[in-house]
Amino acid sequence: MLNGDMRAFELLVKQYERLVFYVIHRLVKEQQAAEDICQEVFIKVYNSLTRFSFQSKLSTWVARIAYLTAINYVRKYKREKASDYPDDIENFHFTVDTPDQLLTKKETANYVEQLILQLPEKYRTVLTLYHLNEFSGPEIEEITGMPEGTVKSYLFRARKLLKEKLEAYLKDEML
């Protein structure tokens, strides 16, 4: 690939396109923008391959590039500010309070997805990296630069919050 083998590069893109898309789609909600960022990420990967020092897994390195590119985009075109979220996540209020208007019971996953998209970006990121990309705590630390303890804390609090919301949603559905 370092010699310009485009077939090898295409295989690399195929191997990591889902990983990159998963990382980006939770941070950048617009599909078109998410695809553009995916393209940007792979161009960065191609241009930086000579600098990859094999000190980490290639997937972690690619995910870090994806995360930083998405974060840069979010910061650049930010419509939501950090102050939009309370410091204490336990006091966070979702705007989807009438889930039945949005989704039916069989779409629990979609409902959870809607909730996740309303969470602050750090919570969205750790949930995605842990559950969708199946990275471990230390790997998430390497990708995001957040200490492992913080990652675990974000994971716990986000899941607890989502569980409470899901519980209420299921209760409403039963009625």
Distances (CA, A) of 170 to 36, 47, 100: 37, 48, 10
Reduce the secondary structure of 125-166 to three states and give it as a string: HHHHHHHHCCCCHHHHHHHHCCCHHHHHHHHHHHHHHHHHHH
Please identify, using beta-carbon distances, which residue of 28 and 143 lies nearer to another protein: 28
CB of 1 to another protein, least distance (A): 10
Phi/psi for 92 (5° steps) reads -75, 140
168 contacts 162 by C-beta, under 8 angstroms: no
The encoded tokens of residue 59 equal 């997937």
Provide, rounded to whole angstroms, the least separation between the CB of residue 116 and another protein: 8
In angstroms, what is the minimal distance from the CB of 16 to another protein? 9
* Angle subtended at Cα 117 by Cα 153 and Cα 101, rounded to the nearest 5 degrees: 125
Q: Which is nearer to another protein, 3 or 55 (CB)?
A: 3
Q: How far is the CB of 89 from another protein (least distance, A)?
A: 14
- CB of 64 vs another protein, minimal distance in Å: 19
How large is the greatest C-alpha to C-alpha distance in the chain, in angstroms?
63
- Cβ proximity to another protein, 4 vs 84, nearer residue: 4
CB-wise, 18 or 82, nearer to another protein? Answer: 18
Q: Catalog residues that contact another protein under the rule CB under 8 A.
A: 4, 6-7, 9-11, 13-14, 17-18, 21-22, 25, 31-32, 35-36, 38-39, 42-43, 46, 108-113, 116, 127, 131-132, 155-156, 159-160, 162-163, 166-167, 170
127 closest CA partner among 153, 100, 97: 153
Q: CB-wise, 84 or 112, nearer to another protein?
A: 112
